[in-house]
């Protein structure tokens, strides 16, 4: 699945000014993460379990 086929949304923790935003797209087996300022560039892809572990870690720290 290409980045243009994904439905991206801005992280709720990103600022309201529109810059420095993290965007996420959820696919069937993976989660895609990108910097909104660099949307055309390659992005990070993790499996759903990895994404869950990351969110749990982030919430604890």
Per-residue confidence (pLDDT) for residue 22, from 0 to 100: 86
Least confident of 18-22, 39-43, 51-55: 18-22
Whether the CB-CB separation of 29 and 46 falls below 8 Å is answered with: no
- 3-class DSSP assignment, residue 37: helix
1-40: per-residue pLDDT in tens? 666 689 999 877 666 666 668 899 999 999 999 988 888 8
Measured between alpha carbons, how far is 51 from 30 in angstroms, rounded to an integer? 8
Whether the CB-CB separation of 47 and 26 falls below 8 Å is answered with: no
Nearest to 18 by CA among 10, 29, 8: 10
Domain boundaries, the chain: 3-60
Per-residue confidence (pLDDT) for residue 38, from 0 to 100: 85
Per-residue confidence (pLDDT) for residue 30, from 0 to 100: 96
Tokens of 27: 């696919």
């Amino acid at each position: 699945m290409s980045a243009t086929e994904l439905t991206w949304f801005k992280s709720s923790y990103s600022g309201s000014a529109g810059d420095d935003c993290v965007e996420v797209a959820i696919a069937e087996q993976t989660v895609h993460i990108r910097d909104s300022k660099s949307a055309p560039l390659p992005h990070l892809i993790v499996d759903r379990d990895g994404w869950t572990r990351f969110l749990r870690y982030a919430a604890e720290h």
